[in-house]
Amino acid sequence: MSHKQTNLREAHAHLPQLGRSMSMLDLSACSSHSEMIDLIHTRAEQTPLGQWILCSSVRVEAWDEPSWPTRQQLDAATGDKPCCAWSFDYHAMVVNTPGLEAAGFNEVSPDPPRGRIMRDEHGPTGLLLESAALQVWAAVPEPDPAQRRTHILAALAHLGKLGYTQVHDLKSPAWLGPMLAEICDEGLLELSVELFVLINEFKEVQEQARGFERDQIRLGGAKVFVDGTLNSRTAWMLEPFVDPIAGLACGQAMLEPGELENMVEMVDGLGYPLAAHAIGDGAVRAVLDAIQAKQPGTRGFRIEHAEVIAEQDVARFVELGVIASVQPCHLLTDIEVVKRALGERASRVLPMREMIDAGLTPGELLLFGSDVPIVGADPEDSIQAAVQRRRVDMGEAEALAPDQSISVDEAWACFGE
């Protein structure tokens, strides 16, 4: 359909996560409980006692029977070795009993703030959402500096082979800037990197930025999570999901009222923009409302993902000068779950034709990325999704909101300067 190009900008990536995921058990090809459990059992037999079994890229919603395996099934496959398996979107995780215990969870632990421990008649099922999953991940030993360097070099090499010369890292830990500076000073950094640091760490990193910034390395702004994801049914929606989680009909707002406005004001005062993870139309509107209320003077405020946008909010991006940093490649694997979760409102998923027609200029106010390693970083995937609105093996009638298709040239321009 299109000729692969180079000199591209990857506008939404996670370098440490990408590098580390290359050493984890990839479960993306699984299509059932049994396949997943069999692979985990094999990895458990190869894992020394005391070490974690780390797995990634589970796509339960793509299975014929979309339900997670239980912790009891994981326990049978792993024994006493702690094990956790991330959903591909990193907003849900299934954990065995040793993993739960390592994180401080027991049979009667309450849900942590902005998280959920899923339960049945036997207690915790092992499925954790949002902050509950992050609590387990915090119990997993961190890679040492040498391992981190190996991960970063592998991630950069992977993106370079795909034609990228620029990358925006959208959840940069405090150690990433200094490590990239070392790599750059050794003449090994071939890509330009822009760092967006979680807002609770931003002031500390901003004070250190002068020490690690180079021509190829720049602190870009702060990052905040406003909601969850569509797959986990934790995206913040204006209207209920067709098949919501009990007690979360419209998903999960990750911030209290007023917090977002305070964050906009804080980062603007430091002279930087905010990059806000907002997937549901409720979250997108909340970010636009906060920016409109505070009228920041700093340019470059962005909404990451913006997967569902209410029709009346599209033009507000242009009016407020807000960048839409989107990842069309998600459509290729999420078409079925989007239709199942949103019903008729699936037509509001990534309305890129409307966005461009409203004035979001490709490459300036409309940027493409992949969210790698959440999905693959091949730019051709986003071109396919943006132009055809369906996978290559699907018929035209299966396309998601085909009237929102954009041209091949427009799509490639979204990867440009």
Band (pLDDT 50/70/90 cuts) for residue 414 is very high
Is residue 1 scored above 70 in pLDDT?
no
- Averaged confidence pLDDT in the chain: 94
Is residue 39 scored above 70 in pLDDT?
yes
Query: Which of 39, 22, 30 has its CA nearest to residue 83?
Result: 39
Query: Which of 275, 314, 278 has its CA nearest to residue 296?
Result: 275
For 320, the 3-state DSSP assignment is helix
Is residue 357 scored above 70 in pLDDT?
yes
Residue 3 pLDDT: 55
To the nearest 10°, report the CA torsion of 100, 105, 107, 111: -120
Residue 232 pLDDT: 87
Residues of the chain with CATH 3.10.310.70: 20-139
Q: Which tops the pLDDT comparison, 376 or 212?
A: 212
For residues 304-327, give the mean pLDDT. Answer: 98
Q: Which of 18-32, 70-84, 286-300 has the lowest mean pLDDT?
A: 18-32
Is residue 61 scored above 90 in pLDDT?
no
Q: For 70-86, write each residue's pLDDT tens digit.
A: 999 999 999 999 999 98
CATH number of 20-139: 3.10.310.70
Residue 57 pLDDT: 86
To the nearest 10°, report the CA torsion of 29, 35, 40, 41: -150
Single-letter residue type at 201: E
Band (pLDDT 50/70/90 cuts) for residue 334 is confident
- Residue in the block written with tokens 């870009």: 220
Q: Which tops the pLDDT comparison, 22 or 164?
A: 164
Is residue 342 scored above 90 in pLDDT?
yes
Is residue 290 scored above 60 in pLDDT?
yes
Query: Which of 392, 132, 343 has its CA nearest to residue 230?
Result: 343
CA distances to 219, 235, 240, 295, 394 from 310, in Å? 31, 14, 14, 21, 27
CA separation for the pair 413, 350 (Å, rounded)? 17
Q: Which tops the pLDDT comparison, 172 or 33?
A: 172
Is residue 167 scored above 80 in pLDDT?
yes
Residues of the chain with CATH 3.20.20.140: 8-16+146-413
Band (pLDDT 50/70/90 cuts) for residue 409 is very high
Q: For 233-248, write each residue's pLDDT tens digit.
A: 999 999 999 999 889 9
The highest-level CATH class for domain 8-16+146-413 is alpha beta
Band (pLDDT 50/70/90 cuts) for residue 67 is confident
Is residue 280 scored above 60 in pLDDT?
yes
For residues 4-13, give the mean pLDDT. Answer: 89
Claim: this prediction has a pTM higher than 0.85: yes
Q: What is the largest CA-CA distance in the chain?
A: 58
Q: For 138-154, write each residue's pLDDT tens digit.
A: 999 999 999 999 999 99
Residue 4 pLDDT: 62
Question: How many CA atoms lie within 13 Å of 381's alpha carbon, on the beta-carbon side?
Answer: 19
